Structure 1
Amino acid sequence: MKAAVVNYNGGAGKTTLSTYLFKPRMPEDTVFFAVETINQSATDLGVNNVEVLKGKNIGQIIERLVLEDNALIDIGASNVESFLEAASRYVGALDDIDLFVIPVTADQKCWQESLKTVEALSKMGVPAEKIRLLPNRIQDNPADEIPAVFKYCKQSKKATVSADVFVYESEIFGYLAHKKMSFETLIDDSVDYRKLAREETDSDKASEYARMFRWNKMAIPVHNALDDCFAALSR
């Protein structure tokens, strides 16, 4: 699969979802492209082997997509316009991308920019079935929190969105980003943080293990929910 995570709006969660939702669940040979120049990239979250490119270098990306079976493209807000402008110079430049995921939050500016992103992709000939709006940082029910997005998809038929496929708001993403740690490392069954905390004689280290135990227990249900989300997006 070749997937692009994109949004004109900065702060929608593109890099967070690329790092924690997509990358761990895509094949090991997946090439991770960060199309970014000024904002945070997956490298800042501890991801290794991220290839950083500028949006105007669409030609390089087109060539690489021909050669790769699996690719993840995290397109930063600072590069979306140049990426799409450069892509418009080629016939079918985006055809090799199987899925465009647009994270969207309840913030008004974000969902408005998200719909602008849909319009731009649709104008370039990307079919609706390839454009997926993914509600992010949801508290309860995405259809209630971002009704304009669901109404837009129903009426325009230029993208799809589902009230059953979304990502909840959670502190765990901030914790993992701060630690530059993956979900998989934190919830590794071979590490018993409770036991380590109980057996540690250094009080500071014991407190840190206890803290890890708490975050571990928060991470597990979020990780499971991300599994379900990815499975739905990949169908």
Structure 2
Amino acid sequence: MKIAVMNYTGTVGKTTIAAHLLAPRIPGAQVFAVESINETAESLGTAVDQIRAERFRDLLRKLVTLDDAIVDVGASNIEGFLDALRRFEGAHLEFDRFVVPVTPGVKQQKETAAMLTALSAFGIQGDQIRVVLNRVEHDAKEEFPMLMQFLKTTECAPVPTAFIYDNEIFDLLATLNMSIGQALADTVDHKVEARKAREGGDKKAQYFHEDMIILKALSGPCARNLDSVFQEIVA
């Protein structure tokens, strides 16, 4: 499966979704970052082939030979990426899904609606687009009222029923330069190691092991949450 992750607005979790939701669940997928100035999935521990939107021809050449790929389009390159889709007729057909992440906020919801409208203008069918509501605290309908209404009235994309709940795990993963999979596979008894470090006066090691205890406690619920969102994306 080939998936493009994109939105006009920045800081909505595109790169986090590429690195922590999609890449671990599509084994062997090559990850491309269409980005020039912002963070890419590589900084989150995922191997990335970085490319600028104006080199879309190079990206397209690689995509046509792949079965699985994730293309993380940064906000700084979104206009160039869309312009390339206009110039290269049928290029959008290389993608099976267009994932549009959004966080609560009026600006983010307005720009997401504009993104969905732009994708529809290319002739991309609603069943190929997935809106991912990110950083949901309690009730998605209350936190994304404008976007939910837009989706119901336009049918540009299915109304999402699975959401990414707000979770401090992603900041912790970035700090520790780890993946959720690595945290779940970790077998070290960090309680024992934290006590040893405290008794030995090694504050750095103590804090690391304490962070790992927290990370491991958060990883299971987060992985199950991301599993449910992934199933909705590929359905």
* Fold-level similarity (TM above 0.5): yes
Identity among equivalent positions (%) equals: 35
How much has 1:199 moved relative to structure 2? 4.6
Give TM-score scaled by structure 1 length: 0.93
Give 2:138's aligned residue: 140
Residue deviations 1:70-99 (CA, integer Å, cap 9, x gap): 000000000010011011012211101000
How much has 1:196 moved relative to structure 2? 2.7
Give 2:189's aligned residue: 192
Q: How does 1:89-108 map to 2 (within 5 A)?
A: 89-108=87-106
Give 1:179's aligned residue: 176
Secondary structure in 2 matching 1:57 = helix
Of 98-107 and 193-202, deviating more is 193-202
Amino acid at match of 1:95: L
2:156, 2:172 → 1: CA distance? Answer: 35
Q: How does 1:54-93 map to 2 (within 5 A)?
A: 54-93=52-91
Unaligned runs of 5+ in 2: none
Q: How many residues in Structure 1 have an aligned counterpart in Structure 2?
A: 232
1:198, 1:234 → 2: CA distance? Answer: 44
Give 1:224's aligned residue: 224
Secondary structure in 2 matching 1:95 = helix
Secondary structure in 2 matching 1:47 = coil
Q: How does 1:89-128 map to 2 (within 5 A)?
A: 89-128=87-126
| Superposed CA RMSD | 1.5
Give TM-score scaled by structure 2 length: 0.93
Change in CA separation of 1:116 and 1:189 when aligned onto 2, cut-off 3 Å: same
Unaligned runs of 5+ in 1: none
CA contact (8 A) 1:187 1:219 kept: yes
Secondary structure in 2 matching 1:73 = strand
1:206, 1:104 → 2: CA distance? Answer: 36
Give 1:21's aligned residue: 21
Give 1:45's aligned residue: 44
1:195, 1:179 → 2: CA distance? Answer: 19
How much has 1:157 moved relative to structure 2? 1.1
2:10, 2:150 → 1: CA distance? Answer: 21
Amino acid at match of 2:50: V
CA contact (8 A) 1:57 1:83 kept: no
Secondary structure in 2 matching 1:4 = strand
Residue deviations 1:91-114 (CA, integer Å, cap 9, x gap): 211101000010011111111111
